[in-house]
Amino acid sequence: MKLSEKPKEKNIAPPLWLLAEVTYRCPLNCVFCYNPVDYAKQHNELTTAEWVKVLREGRKMGAAQLGLSGGEPLLRKDLEEIVEEARKLGYYVNLLTSGIGMTEERIKNLKTAGLDHIQLSFQDSTKEMNDFLSSTKTFDLKKKVAGLIKKYDYPMVLNCVLHRLNIDHIEQILNMAEAMGAEFVELANTQFYSWGMLNRDQLLPSEEQLKRAEKITHKFRDRLGNKMKLFFIMPDYYSTRPKKCMNGWGNVFITVQADGMVLPCHVASMLPDINFESVRNKSLDWIWYKSPGFNKFRGDDWMKEPCKSCPEKENDLGGCRCQAFMLTGDPNAADPVCDKSPHHSKISEAVIASQKPSNYERPIVFRTDNDSRKIMQKRDKGQLDIRSSRLLERDSKPSKEKSRVGLV
Ligand code: FES
């Protein structure tokens, strides 16, 4: 059935993936973090009992995959309890972690609780660059955690976010992954949202860098085959067709933020004129099927030209709503990555701007509580440029809590 023939609401499939961002506290300060730039507005994380309620509601709706992410999910001391409940309910439970906070005792307990899968992130193959990019001293610790993942018989799944500052080390990154016995490696080029967008001029790689990285990845793929499966995710700034973001708005993924707000993607809270609901006030089922926010971009009624009459619209559903808003100010516009978009020049201009040597002198913004608060204050004083100001919820206010790092 074609998009336009689908009656709204009746044909909404249940979510397959529940993404639980259980905390925004994080010991790392990554320059490409996809957490909202105004994440320091958050306080009052969902309690264990509230997460258990979310898990039950999600499973009842049919969600089968659970992603536990953050921030750093290991900072929640009730993570084992959450995992145990999820496993009992029948979820396949994935932990997405920097590894900070993982000890032998915790991995043993998580295994007993039923954790199925761990994805460990690295920032680079060298201690210096890994520690610079996360603004921490964590490289050696991550290596220890990789050893624990092997010891406790989990598949070794590594993730490294690529950008201009580390993409030339791809051969070393893959050698490191091979030496660690990785079975899956995700080399995901930075997608330019949130903190990545603030740092876009410093992080966007050149086309030559990308081509070289892809070539090296192919070489490893040819040599290692299924022994180490490699996924190389291109930045869409070098494409002429947009991605089908989140596999369609409100189609497969439901994201619950640390304070209970429910979103169709990690960053949709920045979109104007949509009130997203919290699990504290509404059921997950109502939010998915009935809430205006989740129905906003389902089907194609919302589309404008050139998407509306485009013969390819079923392939990408007009691309990413958040990217359309960030780059054009209009969330209903075609994603500018598409070369049929009247705003496609924003993409080519960004590529040119990012190659200026002067970018190397500009300071990079690390994801910290302080900077998150400062950015909200700048927005309130009208000191933020328009593109950056679109990364924040209209009326987000900094939380007064002092430090958000540590165990709850
Ligand atoms: Fe929000 Fe693409 S990131 S729709």
From first to last of the 408 residues of the chain, give the pLDDT tens digit.
454 444 445 589 999 999 999 999 999 899 999 999 999 887 789 999 999 999 999 999 999 999 999 999 999 999 999 999 999 999 999 999 999 999 999 999 999 999 999 999 988 888 887 787 777 778 888 889 999 999 999 999 999 999 999 999 999 999 999 999 999 999 999 999 999 999 999 999 999 999 999 999 999 999 999 999 999 998 899 999 999 999 999 999 999 999 999 999 999 999 999 999 999 999 999 999 999 999 999 999 999 999 999 999 999 999 999 999 999 999 999 999 999 999 999 999 999 998 887 777 778 999 999 999 999 999 999 999 988 999 998 888 887 665 444 333
Q: What distance in angstroms lies between residue 265's CA and the mean position of ligand 1's atoms?
A: 5
CA-based nearest residue to 133, from 208, 211, 199, 187 = 199
Q: What distance in angstroms lies between residue 42's CA and the mean position of ligand 1's atoms?
A: 20
How would you classify the pairing of strands 262-263 and 253-256? Answer: antiparallel
Q: Which of 35, 244, 321, 338 to mutate to test the pocket of ligand 1 (most atoms within 8 A of CB)?
A: 321
Regarding the beta carbon of 270 and ligand 1, being less than 6 Å apart is answered no
Regarding the beta carbon of 161 and ligand 1, being less than 6 Å apart is answered no
pTM: 0.92
Q: Which of 21, 253, 261, 320 to mutate to test the pocket of ligand 1 (most atoms within 8 A of CB)?
A: 320
Residues pairing with 188 in the sheet: 161, 233
Question: Which parts of 183-267 are beta strand (E)?
Answer: 184-189, 229-233, 253-256, 262-263
Regarding the beta carbon of 296 and ligand 1, being less than 6 Å apart is answered no
Regarding the beta carbon of 246 and ligand 1, being less than 6 Å apart is answered yes
CA-based nearest residue to 302, from 8, 2, 1 = 8
In what side-by-side order are the strands of the sheet with 184-189? 229-233, 184-189, 157-162, 117-122, 92-97, 65-69, 17-21, 253-256, 262-263
Q: What distance in angstroms lies between residue 190's CA and the mean position of ligand 1's atoms?
A: 14
